Chain A
Amino acid sequence: MYKPVAPTQTLACFHCGTTCGKDLRYFEEKSFCCLGCESVYKFLHAEQLDAYYNLSQHPGISPALELQGKFDYLLEPALADSLFDFKGPQLGNITFSIPHMHCVSCVWLLEKLYALHPAIRHSRVQFALRQLTVTFDHTILSLMELVHLLAVIGYEPEINLAAQEDIARGKASSHDKKLYYQIGVAGFCFGNVMLISLPEYFDWDHSMGLHFKQLFGYINLLLSIPVLLYSARDYFKSALSSARSRMLNLDVPLVAGMIALFGTSAYQIFTQTGAGYMDSFTGLLFFLLLGKAFQQKTYKHLSFERDYKSYLPLSARVVQGDQLTSVPLDLLKAGNRILVKHGEIIPADSILLKGVAWVDYSFVTGESTPVEKTLGEIVHAGGKHQGAAIELEVVKETAASYFTTLWNYGANTKQEEVLDTIANRAGRRFSYFLFTVAIVSFFFWLPDLEQAVMVFASVLIVACPCALALSAPFTFGNAIRILGRNGFYLKNTGVIEKLAKADTLVFDKTGTLTEAQAHAIRYTGDQLSEEESTRFAALFAQSVHPLSKSLATHLGSVHRAVEGFHEQQGLGIEGIVEGSLLKAGSLRFITGQQEETLLLYTRVYISAEDRVLGYFELSSKFREGLERFSSAMAGYHFAVCSGDQPKDKGTLEVLLPAATEYRFGQLPGQKRSFIESLQHDGKHIAMIGDGLNDAIALKSSDVGIAVSEQAGHFSPACDSILDARRFHQLPEFLKFSRLSVRLVYACFAISAVYNLTGLSFAVQGQLSPVIAAILMPLSSITIVLFTTISTNVIASKLNLNQ
């Protein structure tokens, strides 16, 4: 099979690093891939901001085309004002969400914004959230101009409901500081109590005199009170609510230990019969709170809970005579005439009035081929329009559109499940064991009541499951960080357990197993010389149709002049390149004949001077690494559940295991039924999807994985987000989750060893404060070290070492 050759020139753009193609240009001996990149460079160079290019390799982002007028909707004062954080008479503060920022240079340039316009006073980046806050003089520079400036240098802010939600969430999360305060108090008290307890460890207090012993005891008691009342508060609350709901969790034995520790120590200090265990008590809380903080790793620049509204733009362009006004989406009414440009999303169900629409519904229904719509046809909301600008008349308001109903279909069914984690189950078993031992020991020592009580308390103290309580937070906390570094972002640590439990994988097809924007291309026909293929490449580059774009990239975009270019929508294109008349399109367009058989894949025939040369066959391009899945994930049950037609079934049957179940042409509700039927058979489902049509399935599965092609782009509500570039590592990610869970069990074993050692002291009545004070930190440190080293070793063994 012949593959046309791409041109041999491979220069990297100085600004953005992509290979320069047909628009190659030079400036000051530097090559640029397009006018946009060159403009940004010139702009920055004129303001002496060249350090931008020194801090990172090719840090630039190619600015979007057609920026003129793109932000006119921001001229609307009501809309613009609602976006400001604060707007004074002269200065205003606004926070932007800029998902494109990715490196040190980005931070540097965005904080040097004041150098680009005198009205900009100050700008500050919050990289973790991918947000930029700008203070500027809005009387000199309007919001629209500011956004335009950012777009021109490649950092176009995302202005839609999703971004606004993110910004609001970022502000809200900054108020969640209670845990830090609790750690601070616990740490302060722990350190001081340990210091004051030193004389007791080394038996110095005998020589110091009785009043010192008393003093130390009371100081310890005083220091432990804030820890009990403030730092330990959440544990008491949780233990109480779990006791009420009759489902014991790990906090119950923890609280039992805390009460035993504090109570025994207070008693010993008041009656001067001992030094108390306040060091163990404060230390316990300090370690526990640290574990809690470590476990709370979240990815603030991603959202796992998108609403359908987040996908749509903030406003639509309404045509009134000659005027174009921006109308917020909720105020769009039936009968409004709207204008939609290339690449924009249809905001509401409408009828096409003017122009021809090629609508890409892959995100909404999973259909991989764009649908052609002509005058008078209904165009549903949520599709992305490609082609020249079109005018439509709104038929249904956004909230009533089919798109919205898709979303709300499954909205009521997801209950808030309380995750019965490994830790809680272990905690329950541990509680039964602990209380049994404590009660038995009590009765054993019973003739001597004082001793019996002391032994009972000692058992609770030493067996306090500190190490048990730290196993899961530190193991899963490490695991979630390692996975995040490798492009797999989990909503919280509970997702790891869900992933480990899954035994069935259900895949969506379009955008998940296939690359959304690319095609696999095969050519059948007469061999094309390099000259001929570059000529056809130039022809394809003139059209904005998705098939043309794929073919242009495939043939290698090189610039050639095309005269008399003409596109017949839906049929084909033609033009004169270097003297020869070239045509490309369907068989009917080229030869006037109909296709004899029903085609499996789209064919684009080409002809030169009316002589048919051959045809290109375009099919879905499957992601790399798919062939490996059946061997790497041998124990799993596979299924493919797609909204698309069965045209790729043959390819899939080769790539995936033989026992795979296939369902095509599925509506979102049918996907959900499929998953529910599998769950009914007792399977644990991991659903992997990417679009809105998967949203309901993702919610109803046991664990939902959303595949995302670009950071910051919309992902439906899910438990985890997988970077599309790391899709091929899915087997390793699942294996890592399973091994992490096993690691937690290993930690339980280690803590059991410590517990039994301590218990042997306690039941004999031999538990001194020193022994308790040593055992607890020792066991905690062992667990933390063991788990940290092990997760890193496992990660590098699985090649997850980013």
Chain B
Amino acid sequence: MEILFMLIGISIVLALGFLLAFIKAVKTGQYEDEYTPSIRMLLDDHPTAKKPTQSEKNNPSKQKAQ
């Protein structure tokens, strides 16, 4: 039963990790815009036939396949 000491300790540390992640999320603006991401998520990103910029010309792996 002594293992419980360690287990409790580990679980609290784990939960603390979640709390810190939450605080970090709030700090970096996760909850600032609660509406637009819900719209943005549903939009497909069909590539438009725009002229490739210089960096994209040099980096063929970045070009999206149709």
Q: Could you tell me if A111 and B23 are in contact, using CB atoms closer than 8 angstroms?
A: no
Q: Contact at A208–B36, with CB atoms within 8 Å?
A: no
Contacts of A49 in B (CB 8 A): 48
By Cβ-Cβ distance, the 5 closest A-B pairs, closest first, are A188-B19, A127-B36, A180-B26, A184-B22, A128-B35
Asked if A127 contacts B39 (CB within 8 A), the reply is yes
| Separation of A1 and B24 alpha carbons in the complex (Å) | 70
Q: A116 to B52, alpha carbons, bound, how many Å?
A: 14
Complex: how many Å from CA A650 to CA B46? 60
* CB <8 Å contact, B29 and A174: yes
Whether A192 touches B49, Cβ cut-off 8 Å, given contacts A185-B19, A209-B1, is: no
In the complex the two chains form, is A126's CB within 8 Å of B48's CB? no
A115 at the interface (CB under 8 A from B): yes
Q: Which of B1, B48, B53 contacts A47 (CB 8 A)?
A: B48
- Chain B, interface size category, equals 20 to 34
Interface contact B34-A111, CB-CB below 8 Å: no
Q: In the complex, which residues of chain A have a beta carbon less than 8 angstroms from the beta carbon of B48?
A: 47-49, 112, 115
**Is A446 on the interface with B (CB-CB < 8 A)?**
no
Which residues does chain A contribute within 8 Å of B46, judged by CB atoms?
A: 51
Chain B residues closer than 8 Å to A219, beta-carbon distance: 8, 12
- Report the bound CA distance from A86 to B8 in whole Å: 49
B10 at the A interface (CB under 8 A) = no
- Bound together, the chains give a CA A107 to CA B35 distance in angstroms of 11
Min Cβ gap B10→A in Å is 12
Q: Told that A126-B33, A177-B31 touch, could you supply 12 new A-B pairs with CB distance under 8 A?
A: A47-B50, A49-B48, A104-B42, A111-B40, A114-B50, A118-B51, A125-B36, A128-B34, A177-B26, A184-B22, A188-B18, A188-B19
CB-based nearest A residue for B4: A212
Grouping DSSP codes into helix (H, G, I), strand (E, B) and loop, the A interface class, with mixed when no group exceeds half, is: helix
Shortest C-beta distance, A181 to chain B (Å), equals 6
A247 near B: Cβ within 8 Å?
A: no
Given A118-B51, A180-B26, A188-B18: A174 in contact with B32 (beta carbons within 8 A): yes
Taking the closest CB of chain B, its distance from the CB of A793, in whole angstroms, is 26
Q: Which residues of B contact A196 (CB under 8 A)?
A: 8
Residue A55 interfacial (CB < 8 Å): yes
Any A CB within 8 A of the CB of B15? yes
**How many angstroms between the C-alpha atoms of A47 and B32 in the bound complex?**
32
Most chain A beta-carbon neighbours within 10 Å: one of B11, B19, B46, B49: B19
- Residue pair B49, A104 in contact (C-beta under 8 Å): no
Q: Which residues of A sit under 8 angstroms from B22, Cβ to Cβ?
A: 184, 188
1/0 per position for A708-750, CB-CB distance to B under 8 A? Answer: 0000000000000000000000000000000000000000000
Docked pose: A181 CA to B20 CA in angstroms: 10
Q: Is A756's CB within 8 Å of the partner chain B?
A: no
In the assembled complex, B27 has its CB within 8 A of some CB on chain A: yes
In Å, the complex CA distance between A241 and B50 comes to 62
CA distance A107 to B43 in the complex (A): 9
The smallest beta-carbon distance between A97 and chain B, in angstroms, is 15
15 contacts between A and B (CB under 8 A): A107-B36, A107-B40, A114-B50, A118-B50, A127-B36, A128-B33, A128-B34, A128-B35, A177-B26, A180-B26, A185-B19, A188-B16, A188-B18, A188-B22, A219-B8
User: CA A104 – CA B39 in complex, angstroms?
Assistant: 6
Contact A104 B19 (CB under 8 A): no
What B residues does A125 contact at CB under 8 A? 36
A191 CA / B29 CA spacing, docked (Å): 25
CB within 8 A of A181: which of B1, B23, B53?
Answer: B23
Which chain A residues border B49 with CB–CB below 8 Å? 48
The answer to whether A235 has its CB under 8 Å from any CB of chain B is no
B31-A107 in contact (CB<8A) = no
On chain B, the residues within 8 Å of A126 by CB distance are 32-33, 36
Pair B39/A115 contact, Cβ less than 8 Å: no
List of A residues within 8 angstroms of B32 by Cβ: 126, 174
A108 CB–B CB distance under 8 Å = yes
A141 interfacial by beta-carbon distance below 8 Å: no
Q: CB-CB < 8 A to B26: which residues of A?
A: 177, 180-181, 184
Residues of A within 8 Å of B29, CB to CB, are: 174
CB distance from A106 to the nearest CB of B (A): 9
Q: Which residues of the partner chain B approach A191 to less than 8 Å between Cβ atoms?
A: 15
The answer, yes or no, to whether A215 is at the interface (CB within 8 Å) is yes
Binary per-residue interface labels of chain A (126-141) against chain B in the complex, 1 for a CB within 8 Å, 0 otherwise: 1110000000000000
Closest to A185 in B: B19
Quick one: which of B11, B39, B49, B51 has the most chain A CB within 10 A?
B39
Q: With CB as the reference atom, state the residue of chain A lying closest to B43.
A: A108
Interface residue from B15, B19, B27, B50 paired with A115 (Cβ < 8 Å): B50
Q: How many angstroms from the CA of A177 to the CA of B33 in the assembled complex?
A: 13
Cβ–Cβ < 8 Å partners of B1 in chain A: 208-209, 212
> A184-B23, A219-B12 in contact; A107/B33 too (CB < 8 A)?
no
B53: nearest chain-A partner, CB-CB? A118
Complex contact A127–B50 (CB within 8 A): no
The answer to whether A104 touches B43 (Cβ under 8 A) is yes
- The complex places the Cα of A212 from the Cα of B32 at a distance, in Å, of 43
Q: Are B5 and A215 in contact (CB under 8 A)?
A: yes
B4, B27, B35: residue with the most chain A Cβ atoms closer than 10 Å: B35
Nearest chain-A residue to B16 (Cβ)? A188
Complex Cα distance, B50 from A365, in Å, reads: 52
Contacts of A111 in B (CB 8 A): 40, 43
Once bound together, how far apart are the Cα atoms of A186 and B66, in whole Å? 49
Chain B residues whose C-beta falls within 8 Å of the C-beta of A181 in the assembled complex? 23, 26
Residues of B within 8 A of A128 (CB): 33-36
Contact B15 A127 (CB under 8 A): no
Report the bound CA distance from A196 to B34 in whole Å: 34
- Tell me which residues across on chain A come within 8 A of B35, comparing CB atoms: 127-128
B9 to chain A, nearest CB (A): 9
